[in-house]
Amino acid sequence: MTLDPQARSETPLKSATTDREAIIHFAGFQRLSPALDRQSKPAFSAEAGDGLARCGWEGFFAAMRAQGLVLEYEPGDAASTHFVPAAQARRSTEVEALAGLRHATEQAGRFLRALFPR
């Protein structure tokens, strides 16, 4: 029995967080600076002249809290960042968690069928 490499989803799993340490680590690793856009929403600035107003981390996190936003991102991909309302992020991470559980259950079933053939 061979495992089908296409059985796994090709869509990378997104992380959703408001954790300061995780956000600062992600931004530092991707060489991004905290900023606010024209509507005072949190954003990441990658270079000068990108139309964003760079700010300190306190202003960045204050804007996230005031607007009830969560950072969604794919680890390792700076272009994947989105700030979404907390309720929306919870729904998407719950759906992803269920998909991951379904995949794990399917893999466990395959393993058991291979271990105990009928």
pLDDT tens readout for residues 8-29: 444 556 788 888 998 999 999 9
How many distinct structural domains can be found in the chain? 1
Structural domain includes residue 10: no
Structural domain includes residue 8: no
**What gap in Å lies between CA 70 and CA 75, rounded to an integer?**
15
Whether the predicted pLDDT of 4 surpasses 90: no
List strands edge to edge, sheet with 53-54: 42-45, 33-36, 53-54
Structural domain includes residue 1: no
Structural domain includes residue 5: no
Structural domain includes residue 6: no
* Domain carrying residue 79: 15-115
Average pLDDT (65-94) is 82
Whether the predicted pLDDT of 110 surpasses 70: yes
Per-residue pLDDT tens for 42-73?
999 999 889 999 999 999 999 999 999 999 98
